[in-house]
Amino acid sequence: MRNRVRHGRRLVGFGAGLAIGFLIAIPAALSIVSWPESEVDAQLRPGRLDSVLDLAERYIRFGNVATARQLLLPREDTEEAPVLFALAETYDPNMLAAWNAQGIMADASRAVALYRRALELGLDEAGRRIAWLE
């Protein structure tokens, strides 16, 4: 009966008490620890436009257009022409074909709408893309 103490009528093992103590202490300790910010979280912070575009470009380069689109979607309502242009490209059937993108749906009307907004914000290349789609 090693490591056991008689408590009332039952034998209580020290191991059980330690396990319960760890279950209580570990979550409390984890809440104190400051975890390092992941690369993606750092890229998505407001004010990191170039980094978001770079990250989206990397996803596209490796064939993951859907993830690039999801990365850019939260910034769709902004007045940032490069983001709108990049997002439009993820809907543009010509670009999806050029990238040989698989498993992602093209939407020419949405691409044109996003290109128009980018053009209004001064991105001239968007006008050429609109002409290709109309």
Cβ atoms of 14 and 3 within 8 Å: the answer is yes
Enter the CATH code of domain 39-133.
1.25.40
Report the C-alpha gap between 58 and 49 in whole angstroms: 14
Instruction: Give the pLDDT of residue 3.
Output: 53
- Locus of tokens 């992602």: 104
| DSSP code at position 4 | E
Instruction: Give the pLDDT of residue 16.
Output: 52
Structural domain spans, the chain: 1-35, 39-133
pTM of the entire structure?
Answer: 0.64
Could you tell me which residues are beta bridge partners of residue 7?
A: 10
Could you tell me which residues are beta bridge partners of residue 10?
A: 7
- Residue stretches of the chain with pLDDT short of 70: 1-49
Q: What are phi and psi of 79, to 5 degrees?
A: -105, 45
